[in-house]
Structure 1
Amino acid sequence: MAITDLFEQVRKKKPLVHQITNFVTVNDCANATLAIGGSPVMTSSPKEVADMVKLAQALVLNFGTIDDMSLEAMEIAGKTANDLHIPIIVDPVGVGSTPYRTEKAMELLDKMTVQVIRGNASEIHRLMGGDIVTRGVDSGALSISNAELALLAARKLNSVVVVSGAKDAVSDSSQTSIIDNGNPLLTKVTGTGCMATALIGAFCGVTGDYYSAAIAGISTMSLSGELAARNLKDNEGTGTYRTRIIDAISKMDQSIWGSEVNIHEEIAL
């Protein structure tokens, strides 16, 4: 299925995206899912996540505010999703910042099959066993490009990998794409990465082509950030910008995406 067709499919099928996510950005993730046409559910109790996953078309696991209970819920939900062949999208928020967070993320990936992983460069590098230290949820500096990192991580982690940054990169180990959209203001609003992962989840809920779904999700977020910044007035700041991002997501379709996205494929290394 072409990437442009996915926008219509999401709005037609309204995939239920079960998200075990963090309490800082849970509302934004739900609103982003609704804006693109999906249906969010944010159940996180270990006592009911298995039953909720059975109703969903995609499962998003976000590490933003993990604790022992949320990790238990993620394990139960992930096993259920694997048993039912429901795609899992993992957002390793802050991995590399503390030993606990890093260890638990790696343990989780060992316990389930994950279709898509989205993080910034330092988070993805740390998941691969690198020693760069993540500064909270911010990315540290790496000597390789996001495209190279995405490709290497996809090979090592056996998943579609999305590396967010000034230029986003997506790889499934055999093909790698770079999306050159976005705006620096995206780094001034909390939750934009989490929203991107939620969007990827919505697209994964309507196709088995997770590489295309990942491209659709991350590019929708970056492009919406670009369009939102373009529409800001001189007296408007980051609060209005946050709202305009949701507006841009809600208006995104194959026509806008096709005319505004700046994407190209990299030659595999």
Structure 2
Amino acid sequence: MFIHMKELQFRAKPEKPDPVYARKLQEVLGGQYGEMSVMMQYLFQGFNCRADRKYRDMLLDIGTEEIGHVEMLSTMIAQLLDGAPADQVDEAAKDPMIAAALGGMNPQHAIVSGLGATPTDSNGYPWNSKYIIASGNLLADFRANLNAESQGLLQVVRLYEQTTDPGVRDMLSFMIARDIMHQNQWLAAIEEIEAIEGPIAPASFPRERSVEEVTRQFMNFSVGEESSAGRWANGTLPDGTGDFEYVANPTAYGDAPVLNPPAKHQHSTLGTGPYVVNEGFEK
């Protein structure tokens, strides 16, 4: 069960309203890498976790914290919208570059949500459950979590650069700190699982059932060979099963495909004239 505490996890009070910035903050609330996404991702990974209970507990700890971050951002957005008139044109939106990107405040804040936050991104696109990953494979999921925290932190840092409001920056500085912690958390969890399973996810599929020779090959599919200088093309494979091989001119393993004609009921063959395949009960 969940129990709600009335106090926010951290301060969330701007110095003054800013409807245009409220729209920007919507991205880290309801965007692809926003707090709603990591909240749902961690919670569903935790709900579905069949591994050692410490992983379930950890996932539900961080997922529940993210509920609090959704609350903080929603509270901040609502306060940034305080007193915004319907025809609000922020000074920042008069800048041609910003106006082109944002077009001022989000009209749905004034029309739909009563000057409150919405479960959408900065363009008003609704949050989508397709943003989240909960596969049941801990190593694959934890790597997805690391990516989510990395992209989320990048966006929050960019938002920090776009405001001088001390109250907004105060809250963002806390979110930045927690994202740093969460990246370290996922790196540590990944390291723990890799020590058991190795770095490939899933580790359970028999390697001999794969086309083993290409598990080692970096294939050059572009003009030039600059990519040959990278670690990904030289030295020992991270999983310890051999060495990387650089293939400068990959060759085809298969033949040129030739597809069968389409089924007649698809009506896709040229030059057939009129016909009906399924006559049914027509008189």
**Category of TM-score, reference length = shorter chain:** under 0.3
Q: Which has the larger radius of gyration?
A: 2
Could you tell me the TM-score, scaled by structure 2's length?
Answer: 0.22
